[in-house]
Chain A
Amino acid sequence: MRAIKILERILYAIPIILGVAVVVFVFVRLTPGDPVDIMMGQGGAISSGEIEQLRAEFHLDEPITNQLWYFLRDAARGDLGYSYILKQPVTVIIADRLPATIELAAGALFLALLIAFPIGIISAVRQNSILDRLSMSFAFLGISMPGFWLGIVLILIFAVALRWLPVQGRLDPQITLQQITGFYVVDSIITANGPALWSSIRHLLLPSITLGAAVAAIVARVLRSSMLEVLRSDYVQLARAKGASESLVVVKHALRNALIPTVTVVGLQVGVLLGGNMIIETVFGWPGLGRLVVDAIFNRDFPLIQGAVMVYALTYILANLVVDVLYTYLNPRIAL
């Protein structure tokens, strides 16, 4: 039964993915001028015969429905076009930058949960204590604070004033690291490269905190309120009445149930992590997908922007799908 529900959910995602591709296609059509005009804008004189030839090559001389069909067909084959600025297929460029972005997002999520869980739990157990009020005030600030500003402030404090952490990049320039997976922390561990591990973690710290701050704040708030709700419920009172220790009540009974809404919120935060990464990668000079897109925008490299937006949207849909599936495992009573 569960397998059918999961399959249903996957099937439901297909038209959404198709729709996303159409929206991205329409986006490109909103741009004044067609791709050949934009290529012309890069400089150099081209004969009108050559322009026509290029238009035919890009199918720009065909009806828009045909163009949409070619785009969807190529995207389904994993072909997201060709960047005429970087002179490489878009998928190759994205694949090259993706590990840096995933490493940063993973670092941010890890730190966010590491901060949010103890804060959320303690705030609920010690409701209205100074600790609760203080951490919830910070959480409130964390939600409202723009990432680019927090990043700059953290750089000024920890990199410039205290000189504890590096300003930008992924690795100290004097350190060499054999790249296997593209995840520097993982590669350092695989190759048993201690200095590279230390350096990559140090570089990862500030951008991860900046990117994860808003997520930590939201997760802590949701965990706290759902813990409070569960702690007041009858079965927790019953567990207490039966003489279960308070820590057992909190961890086994309350936390497990409070996890259900929390997991949904964590899933939704993937959108925040994805959107935020363009900003944070720009602030910290992090060579990932986000910075690539921002550069591509200013280079008017539309195939690359189009491909990257597709990847972002697909990741978001996939993350939500994973959350939905996880949701049923946490709470079997709820159908997908």
Chain B
Amino acid sequence: MSVTSPTGAPAIAGRRQARLELWQRNARRFLAELGRQPIALLGGLVVLAFILAAVFAPYITAHDPELGSLRQRLIPPVWQQGGAAEFPLGTDGQGRDLLTRIIYGARISLLVGFLTVAISIIAGAGLGAVAGYYRGWLDTVLSRFADLLMAFPFLIFAIAMMAFIGPGFANLILALTFKGWVEFYRLVRGDIMSEKTREYVEAARALGRSHPTIIVAEILPNIVQSIFVVGTLRMGFFIVTEASLSFLGLGIQPPTPAWGSMVAAGRDVMLTHWWVATLPGLAIVLLVPALNIFGEGLRDILDPRLKVQ
């Protein structure tokens, strides 16, 4: 009697094909679901618009985001008396086009948000998977460390860390991820612990698959959706935190355009020139709710269980 080996080449190719088809089917179902949630879709489109603006910034505006002109200082927005069509949202205290700086500022915000989420996911999910799967002393140490980090309010922790290591882009990412991984660690650790007892994991183990393969190839595809949802929701939070740090002068340093530091610079002239401080902040007020709406939509579609949590 011949038995087809489950590890044979045709079987693997067949499984790949089946998995691909499953992904395609899921993607189609997801897009159809998203179409049924117009508000979440709108949020997603706003986020997409910001991403496109950030990527194609040099093609959208002809002005230099960092180079000012003393003659063109504090020109009001185009709809106000004294405004100029060349500077639709006016200029700042150094004569730089505000719209240009807001568009370039999107690069910083999105990059910080994306990198922080990505690194937090890699670190948090990686450690969470190892801790939740193997348990033991490593789990104890990591979980106690996570508890310890949770004892600090996020912004205080980030401010303190930036105060000690100094401002700058890399330090900013470090300060945000140093505590940012904890949420993903807890999520993945918990998920892995519950998935570990499921039958498909037992089956994979019986087939002789190694522990790392089981984690990556068997369990991870089942929990990747919740990681994705929490990641989207956290991105808005990280963007606001970056803006807050930059507002305090601890994050991105001038002249690099970052929304938080632009608001801070506008504060000095806000009583006489309102637009310099308020308009860059408006970009945050558009992007972050859009991200959150999109994230909540994703959650409802991909992982309604998280809503209860």
A residues in contact (CB < 8 Å) with B: 16-17, 19-20, 23-24, 27-28, 30-32, 140-141, 143-149, 152-153, 155-156, 160, 167, 270-272, 274-276, 278-279, 282-283, 293-294, 296-298, 302, 305, 309, 312-313, 316-317
Choice from A147, A156, A309 contacting B244 with Cβ under 8 Å: A147
**Chain B residues with Cβ under 8 A from A32's Cβ?**
166
Q: Is the CB of A27 within 8 A of B164?
A: yes
Q: Is the CB of B285 within 8 A of A145?
A: yes
Choice from A19, A282, A298 contacting B151 with Cβ under 8 Å: A19
Chain B at the A interface: mostly helix, strand, loop or mixed?
Answer: helix
Q: Is the CB of A16 within 8 A of B153?
A: no
With A16-B148, A140-B292, A146-B243 already in contact, the answer to whether A152 and B281 are too (CB < 8 A) is yes
The 8 closest A-B pairs by CB, nearest first: A275-B155, A149-B281, A271-B153, A144-B289, A144-B288, A19-B148, A297-B163, A275-B153
Stretch of B1-9, B72-80, B270-278 at the chain-chain interface? B270-278
**Chain A residues with Cβ under 8 A from B285's Cβ?**
141, 144-146, 149
**Chain B residues with Cβ under 8 A from A271's Cβ?**
153-154, 156
Q: Interface readout for B41-56 with A: 1 if CB under 8 Å, 0 if not?
A: 0000000000000000
Choice from B149, B161, B248, B289 contacting A282 with Cβ under 8 Å: B248
B172 CB within 8 Å of chain A: no
Choice from A17, A27, A270, A294 contacting B161 with Cβ under 8 Å: A27
Q: Is the CB of B159 within 8 A of A293?
A: yes
Q: Is the CB of A146 within 8 A of B293?
A: no
B292 nearest in chain A by CB position = A144
B238 CB within 8 Å of chain A: no
A156 nearest in chain B by CB position = B274
**Chain A residues with Cβ under 8 A from B160's Cβ?**
24, 27, 305, 309
Chain A at the B interface: mostly helix, strand, loop or mixed?
Answer: helix
Choice from B148, B266, B274 contacting A20 with Cβ under 8 Å: B148
Q: Smallest CB–CB gap between A27 and chain B, Å?
A: 5
**Chain A residues with Cβ under 8 A from B278's Cβ?**
149, 152-153, 156
**Chain B residues with Cβ under 8 A from A141's Cβ?**
285, 289
Q: Is the CB of B281 within 8 A of A278?
A: no
Other contacts beyond A23-B152, A148-B281: 15, CB < 8 A: A16-B147, A20-B152, A23-B148, A30-B164, A146-B243, A146-B281, A148-B247, A152-B277, A272-B153, A278-B155, A279-B244, A279-B247, A313-B153, A313-B156, A316-B152
**Chain B residues with Cβ under 8 A from A31's Cβ?**
164-165
Q: How large is the interface on B (under 10, 10 to 19, 20 to 34, 35 or more residues)?
A: 35 or more
Q: Smallest CB–CB gap between A5 and chain B, Å?
A: 18
Choice from A20, A147, A155 contacting B270 with Cβ under 8 Å: A155
**Chain A residues with Cβ under 8 A from B271's Cβ?**
160, 167
Q: Is the CB of B289 within 8 A of A140?
A: yes
B215 CB within 8 Å of chain A: no
Q: Smallest CB–CB gap between B167 and chain A, Å?
A: 10
B240 CB within 8 Å of chain A: yes
A297 nearest in chain B by CB position = B163
Q: Smallest CB–CB gap between A105 and chain B, Å?
A: 12
Q: Is the CB of B284 within 8 A of A140?
A: no
**Chain B residues with Cβ under 8 A from A140's Cβ?**
289, 292-293
Choice from A143, A152, A153, A313 contacting B152 with Cβ under 8 Å: A313
A319 nearest in chain B by CB position = B153
Q: Smallest CB–CB gap between A272 and chain B, Å?
A: 7
**Chain B residues with Cβ under 8 A from A313's Cβ?**
151-153, 156
Within 8 A of A (CB), among B277-297: 277-278, 281-282, 284-285, 288-289, 291-293
Q: Tell me the bound Cα distance from A251 to B95 in angstroms.
A: 58
Q: List 24 A-B contacts (CB under 8 A).
A: A19-B151, A140-B289, A140-B292, A141-B285, A144-B236, A145-B284, A146-B240, A146-B243, A148-B244, A148-B264, A149-B282, A153-B281, A271-B153, A274-B156, A275-B154, A275-B155, A293-B163, A297-B248, A305-B164, A309-B152, A309-B156, A309-B160, A313-B153, A313-B156
Q: Smallest CB–CB gap between A280 and chain B, Å?
A: 10
**Chain B residues with Cβ under 8 A from A279's Cβ?**
155, 244, 247-248
Q: Is the CB of B248 within 8 A of A278?
A: yes
Q: Tell me the bound Cα distance from A275 to B179 in angstroms.
A: 14
